[in-house]
Structure 1
């Protein structure tokens, strides 16, 4: 007898459904509390929940706690998780106007930037932006999370400037987590000589391996490369 194989839904889908359920539950609870009357709170009244019987006052206190605190907190937690998980996808980055040149260049088969070479050679099969910028994920640092929220706020309010500029120093740890210790990496003498300085970010991997993305000048509106990087024209 052949059993049917059941494919479990993706975690992102589960989180989305859970978020919708929590949102609807919160609305229902609040509407129920708004319809509450003085007569519903009589000490003699009892509300049955399965095998449990609660005084009406205790029941509505529990309802208020769930509707005004527990469910909203859970919904915010789920929403934040969904946001951080969503940042792993390339399309999530590409939704921001100032990030489009970076994504366009990465997908350009003729580009020689570090990001484009990684993408073209399938060195990172999926979630390419996230794998090189893991600080923005759920397990990233508080500073990186605040930067992410700052980017979102500036984009939403239209107060951003082009081209986008990275405020902090790019950490070599994002490169070393994949390359450090591999046979090909260790065959390069400078990698061994500069090992401690690379791990301490005293020397950048980009010093030898070139630009990860198009230069700031290329991404500036009005530059010869700007329209191409914005996807408005082809090479």
Structure 2
């Protein structure tokens, strides 16, 4: 026996089939938000829109980092500033901020940067003119200029005044307008200006992310002022940010 189905019942069934339970993944904090899809008008001649699968393209691991390096990422880390040196003895590098989402690691823009004059070392010493390889926390910030809107503790001080010239004769003025302390041989929870050295003075210290002055550094990593402001506004202590830094072969271990 065939039961007659009302026109209203058929329309309700079509609504369930077309809407489903799809959603749009949000963008990483600080880099913009996702937008909900517009409402769909039901039509017998128009199929339901395909779900947004852009988040599914995010890699589960950070490109360029080998298993040994990935294994050293602290549990719960959801922000990683990856500094990839052009060569073991090169002062040129590239910086990318990766943010962890439920779909995987989302990459931000690629920014040119400088590192130390003589490149990289696995055992940094004061005055060796090499940047230390490794994975370090990013817990404190500061600078000569006012806080641009960071969630990190920020120490504005005239102590962040740079003077003189760099290795290529470039002026250092403004290099410390914005600073993020790299937690190498320092006491966390203090201003980047704090000179406590847990590993001893001979192991160096004062390794920062700071404003690029157009040439190599003594051991820090330097970025354009606009990129430093963006980084400061995006880093969030609740996401346990770290910097992963070294030449490409070291990172790929």
Q: TM-score per shorter chain, which class?
A: under 0.3
Instruction: Answer 1 or 2: which has greater strand percent.
Output: 2
Higher helix share: 1
Q: Greater relative contact order (Cα 8 A, min sep 6): structure 1 or 2? A: 2
Question: Which structure's CA Rg is the greater one?
Answer: 1
